Amino acid sequence: MKKNTSSRSFADYKPEAHAWITLASGEYYPDILPAACELYKPVLVMFGQLLRQAHSSEDLFRSICDLGEQWMRIQLARVFRKYVSPETPVEMLKKKTAVDVICHQFGKGFRRIAEVQKGYATRPIPDEALCAVLWEYKDRGKKGYDLTERLFAILRKAFPRLEITGPERAGKDIVLGAIFPQYTKPDRPVDFVIRNGDEVLAVGLARYDSDRGGAQEDDRTGQYRDCAQEILTYAKKHSLKTKVIFLNDGPGLLLGSMWDDYAYLEHTWPDLVKVVTLRMITERISLAWLQRRF
């Protein structure tokens, strides 16, 4: 007989935590190399062309940022980071508008163009090692998109009369200033909102953690704690039913103190906050809980 889990807290699942997380399928090495080399060979060829024409590393970077095709520009920026400026943050490199800031802040650390040209000349085209590194970026974020897509499907099946909104894969987050009038922090982003007509029953954040630890654990749970406190304070002040759902999944939950930290969030706000994995949703998120006023 299936054990009734409806009254269990997130902490109660810890002894069998591995059975409640979702494991995304991965890819084997070196099986990926033919596809990786085919995909990224044009990127490495283009980098070589720009590299030969550049009179300095800063000039090389600016020539990359001048390219109009976004995908190629981002891949070239990643190659640039590996060859020229490993200390430059990846997210900054993606922004065309940040070119002057990057050159000002990190330009002194750029490897000299002659050394870059010499290093590039020693590598084959396609460079299997670099192609394998770039391949790791290819599906970054896809697991999170898959998670939210499945979340929406599960919620809509479980609660067909409720409205579930938010970006189902890529897309802009919902900001709470657009949901609640005069919200404390109007630019606060959330991943999904559950409504019954005009009534907001719950708001939530969804994350897939492939691998986390150390300071990253503290950052995530600290952000969640601040978010829950802010939302629930507003809800109480305005006599709302609104609750908070944190959907977290993936093997990262099994590392360090992550499971215990999330359990503590539930313990801090009994019945008002629930932490779930995909497999827990139908067991722990009920219509009665969503509609209850505490």
pLDDT, tens digit (0-9, with 9 covering 90-100), for 140-170: 666 767 888 899 999 999 999 999 999 887 6
* pTM of the model as a whole: 0.74
Residue 217 has pLDDT above 70, yes or no: no
Question: Between the CA atoms of 224, 168, 283 and 18, what dihedral angle is there, to the nearest 10 degrees?
Answer: -70
Distance CA 239, CA 236 (A): 5
Is the distance from CB of 175 to CB of 161 less than 8 angstroms? no
Alpha helices for 122-190 (secondary structure H): 128-138, 142-158
Domain coordinates in residue numbering, the chain: 10-24+141-291, 33-138
The pLDDT value given to residue 85: 95
Which range is least confidently modeled, 20-24, 118-122, 194-198, 271-275?
A: 20-24
Question: How many Cβ atoms from other residues are within 10 Å of residue 38's Cβ?
Answer: 11
Q: What is the mean pLDDT of residues 133-146?
A: 78
CA 69 to chain centre: 24
The pLDDT value given to residue 27: 84
Distance CA 69, CA 179 (A): 35
The pLDDT value given to residue 216: 52
The pLDDT value given to residue 214: 46
Per-residue pLDDT tens digits for 232-260: 999 999 999 999 999 999 888 998 888 99
Q: 193 or 216: which carries more pLDDT confidence? A: 193
Fold of 10-24+141-291: Trna Endonuclease; Chain: A, domain 1 (3.40.1350)
- Whole-Å CA distances, 79 to 32, 60, 132: 19, 11, 12
Question: How many Cβ atoms from other residues are within 10 Å of residue 56's Cβ?
Answer: 13
The pLDDT value given to residue 96: 82
- Whole-Å CA distances, 141 to 12, 136, 147, 171: 29, 11, 10, 12
The pLDDT value given to residue 75: 95
Q: Which residue type occupies 20?
A: W
Question: How many Cβ atoms from other residues are within 10 Å of residue 226's Cβ?
Answer: 12
The pLDDT value given to residue 247: 95
The pLDDT value given to residue 176: 96
Which range is least confidently modeled, 111-115, 180-184, 192-196, 214-218?
A: 214-218
The pLDDT value given to residue 24: 66
Residue 218 has pLDDT above 70, yes or no: no
DSSP 8-state code for residue 7: T
The pLDDT value given to residue 151: 93
Residue 4 has pLDDT above 50, yes or no: no
Residue 122 has pLDDT above 70, yes or no: yes
Give the pLDDT band (50/70/90) at residue 90: confident
Give the pLDDT band (50/70/90) at residue 215: very low
Give the pLDDT band (50/70/90) at residue 22: confident
Q: What is the mean pLDDT of residues 65-71?
A: 92
Alpha helices for 12-98 (secondary structure H): 33-53, 57-65, 70-83, 90-93
Distance CA 178, CA 188 (A): 10
Average pLDDT, the chain: 90
Maximum pairwise Cα distance, the chain? 73
Residue 11 has pLDDT above 80, yes or no: yes
| Among candidate residues 208, 201, 205, 209, the one with its CA nearest the CA of residue 223 | 205
